[in-house]
């Protein structure tokens, strides 16, 4: 409500003095008796939902915004901002534990990451930390879900060439540590009566053997995520995707409490499997995205501008009601109130989504 009042005051400040009283009274009365702010938030949030760049949902939201502005008599400018090579859309997702005590899994996946091919189930393994560990478990990786280290920040795992090169440095360093630990093991064995030397810890990196594990046929990677979980997007790869180089394995961010239970069960070699059904889909681009701008031309200074705005896109695991239908709905209501009040502002007003 406070934000709406501020909007009214902003409107009042830009109207010409000669028409100010009558127009302001109409704006305020309409705002009090027929406020439509929540209506403008309802359609993109509840009818469309999440709206990431490159999605059909964002295209639908752009078309809705443009048509709504036009219905109030505003001039509409649709401004192309950019394009992305491959589109992304998301359907339902679910997961469960089979065996053990059983549980429904609470998880998310970042935008522009792979889904499953229908429900897929498999055993669970803990990722290898050294080349020797990888070689020893390589044959068991096919068809398995792999628990990886680190704590999710909501973004996808880095499977770019840059990510591969950074992991290669740590793999080489861990090879040196493995050799040093072998020497320590031999020394401890031959000096049992002396104080034992401590082993050195491996350098950690989530999915250290990412490329090798993908080639071995894993179903996907599971990383711990604190609640409330965040799911962003594959910021390092999404703009470089083509239909020929799409990600092929799942990138799952699992409730940290469930992650800890599953990791302990895996260490204890309990008999259980995990099943995921993740309907993440890619479609051929390029997919363009736009600014949608409603305009009321200024009566005296048409080349000077007053600008209101909010962003129309939104992460697709939520509705975008707060981020940023808060801004969108107030911007649109300001446009409606002015357009339907007969206001003739001196300067051009731009309502930018």
**pLDDT, tens only, 283-300:** 999 999 999 999 999 999
Does pLDDT of 1 surpass 50? no
Burial class (CB in 10 A: 0-12, 13-18, 19+), 58: buried
Phi and psi angles of residue 244, each rounded to the nearest 5 degrees, phi first = -95, -15
Tokens of 6: 């501020």
- One-character DSSP codes across 315-345: -TTS--TTTTHHHHHHHHHHHHHHHHHT--B
Phi and psi angles of residue 323, each rounded to the nearest 5 degrees, phi first = -115, 85
Give the integer Cα–Cα distance in Å for 277 and 49.
Answer: 20
Q: For 183-225, what is each residue's pLDDT tens digit?
A: 988 988 888 888 888 998 888 889 999 999 999 999 999 999 9
Q: For 75-121, what is each residue's pLDDT tens digit?
A: 999 999 999 999 999 999 999 999 988 999 999 999 999 999 999 99
Instruction: Give percent of the chain with pLDDT exceeding 70.
Output: 94
Does pLDDT of 28 surpass 90? no
Dihedral sign of CA atoms 343, 298, 345, 41 in order:
positive
Structural domains present in the chain? 2-85+286-352 (3.40.630.10), 101-270 (3.50.30)
Q: Closest by alpha carbon to 288, among 77, 112, 84?
A: 84
Which of 107-119 are b and which e, b meaning 16 or more Cβ less than 10 Å from the residue's Cβ?
bbbbbbbbbbeee
pLDDT for 20: 67
Averaged pLDDT for residues 148-168: 91
Give the integer Cα–Cα distance in Å for 299 and 114.
Answer: 52
Q: Are 230 and 152 in contact (CB under 8 A)?
A: yes
Give the integer Cα–Cα distance in Å for 111 and 282.
Answer: 10
């Amino acid at each position: 409500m406070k934000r709406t009042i501020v909007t009214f005051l902003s409107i009042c400040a830009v109207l010409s003095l000669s028409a100010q009283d009558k127009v302001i009274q109409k704006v305020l009365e309409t705002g009090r008796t027929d406020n439509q702010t929540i209506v403008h938030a309802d359609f993109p949030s509840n009818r469309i939902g999440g709206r990431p760049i490159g999605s059909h949902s964002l295209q639908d939201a752009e078309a809705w915004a443009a048509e709504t502005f036009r219905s109030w008599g505003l001039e509409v400018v649709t401004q192309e901002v950019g394009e992305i090579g491959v589109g992304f859309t998301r359907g339902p997702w679910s997961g469960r534990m089979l065996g053990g005590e059983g549980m429904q899994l609470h998880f998310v996946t970042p935008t522009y990451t792979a889904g499953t091919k229908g429900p897929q189930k498999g055993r669970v393994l803990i990722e290898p930390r050294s080349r020797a560990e990888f070689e020893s478990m390589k044959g068991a990786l096919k068809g398995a879900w792999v628990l990886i280290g680190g704590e999710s920040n909501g973004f996808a795992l880095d499977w770019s060439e840059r990510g591969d090169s950074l992991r290669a440095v740590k793999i080489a360093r861990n090879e040196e540590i493995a050799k040093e630990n072998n020497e320590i093991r031999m020394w401890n064995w031959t000096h049992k009566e002396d104080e034992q030397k401590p082993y050195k810890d491996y350098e950690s990196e989530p999915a250290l053997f990412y490329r090798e594990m993908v080639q071995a046929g894993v179903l996907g990677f599971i990383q711990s995520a604190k609640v409330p979980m965040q799911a962003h997007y594959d910021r390092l790869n999404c703009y470089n995707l083509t239909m020929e180089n799409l990600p092929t394995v799942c990138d799952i961010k699992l409730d940290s409490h469930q992650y800890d239970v599953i990791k302990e069960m895996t260490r204890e070699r309990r008999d259980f499997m995990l099943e995921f059904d993740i309907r993440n889909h890619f479609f051929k681009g390029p997919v363009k995205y736009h600014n949608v701008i409603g305009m009321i031309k200024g009566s005296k200074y048409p080349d000077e501008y007053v600008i209101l705005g909010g962003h129309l896109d939104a992460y697709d695991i939520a509705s975008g009601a707060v981020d940023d239908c808060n801004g969108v709905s107030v911007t649109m209501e300001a446009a409606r109130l002015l357009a339907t009040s007969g206001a003739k502002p001196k300067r051009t007003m731009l309502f930018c989504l």
